[in-house]
Structure 1
Amino acid sequence: MNPALPPALRPAAFVLAVAGGLGALVLGLVYAGTSGPTGPDATLVDALAWSGDPWWTIATVIDFVGEPVGAIVTMAVFLGLCWYSRRPRTAVTGVVAVLLTVGLTSGLKPVTGRYIHGEFLAYPSGHTGFAAALTFTAALGVLGGVRRGPASVLLVVAVVVAGAAMGWAEVTMGAHYPTDTLGGLGVALAVVPVTALLIDKGATRRTQ
Structure 2
Amino acid sequence: MSPMPERRDPPPPPVLPVPMRRPMAILAGLAGIVVTVLAVHYAGTATAGPLDQRLRAGVWNLFGRARPGALVLDLFGEPVVAALLVAALAALCLALRRRALAVVALVGPALTGVATTTLKPVVGRTIHGGHLAYPSGHTATVTALALVGMLLVASLVRSGRAVGLLLVLGGAGAAGAVMAVAQIVLDAHYPTDTVGGFAVALAVVPATALLVDRFAARWRWLRSPTDASR
| TM-score band, normalised by shorter chain | over 0.9
Give 5+ residue unaligned stretches, structure 2: 1-11, 221-230
The whole-number CA distance in structure 2 between the counterparts of 1:34 and 1:104 is: 20
Equivalence for 2:87: 76
Report the residue type matching 1:158 in the other structure.
G
Give the whole-Å Cα distance in 2 for the aligned partners of 1:158 and 1:7.
Answer: 20
Unaligned runs of 5+ in 1: none
1:47 to 42, 48, 58: 58
In the TM superposition, residue 74 of structure 1 has moved relative to its aligned partner by: 1.4
Task: Tell me the residue number matched to 2:9.
Answer: none
- Supply the distance in 1 between the matched residues of 2:35 and 2:29 (Cα, whole angstroms): 10
8 Å contact kept, 2:86–2:109 = no
SS at match of 2:49: coil
CA distance in 1, matches of 2:138, 2:218: 34
State the distance in 1 between where 2:216 and 2:210 align: 10
Whether contact under 8 Å (1:41, 1:178) holds in the other structure is yes
Task: Describe the SS at the equivalent of 1:205.
Answer: coil
Corresponding residue for residue 157 of structure 1 = 170
User: 1:3 and 1:57 mapped to 2: Cα distance?
Assistant: 41
1:3 aligns with 2:11: no
Aligned to 2:33: 22
Higher mean alpha-carbon deviation, 61-70 vs 73-82, is at 73-82
Identity value in percent: 41
Alignment-derived partner of residue 136 in structure 2: 125
Q: What is the alpha-carbon distance in structure 2 between the residues aligned to residue 57 and residue 70 of structure 1? A: 18
Counterpart Cα distance in 2 of 1:206 and 1:79: 18
Give the superposition deviation at 1:47: 1.5
- Residue 206 of structure 2 is aligned to residue 193 of structure 1: yes
Report the alpha carbon displacement of residue 182 of structure 1 after superposing the two structures with TM: 0.6
2:153 matched to which residue of 1?
142
Question: Paired residue for 1:181?
Answer: 194
> Which residue in the other structure is 2:49 paired with?
38
In 1, Cα distance between equivalents of 2:170 and 2:182: 18
Please, which moves more after superposition, 68-77 or 94-103?
A: 68-77
Matched residue count:
206
In 2, the alpha carbon distance for the partners of 1:158 and 1:107 equals: 26
Q: Which residue of 1 aligns with 2:223?
A: none
Amino acid at match of 2:135: P
Q: How many angstroms does 1:79 deviate by?
A: 2.0
State the 1:51 CA deviation. Answer: 2.8
Letter in 1 for 2:50: G
Cα contact 1:51–1:172 (8 A) shared by 2: yes
1:5–1:141 contact (8 Å) kept in structure 2? no
Separation of aligned partners in 1, 2:182 and 2:95:
31
2-side partners of 1:8 and 1:138: how far apart? 19
Structure 2 distance, partners of 1:90, 1:138, is 9
Displaced runs of 4 or more, over 4 A: none
In structure 2, distance between residues paired with 1:100 and 1:73 = 16
1:113 and 1:121 in contact (8 A); partners too = yes
Q: What is the match of residue 168 of structure 1?
A: 181
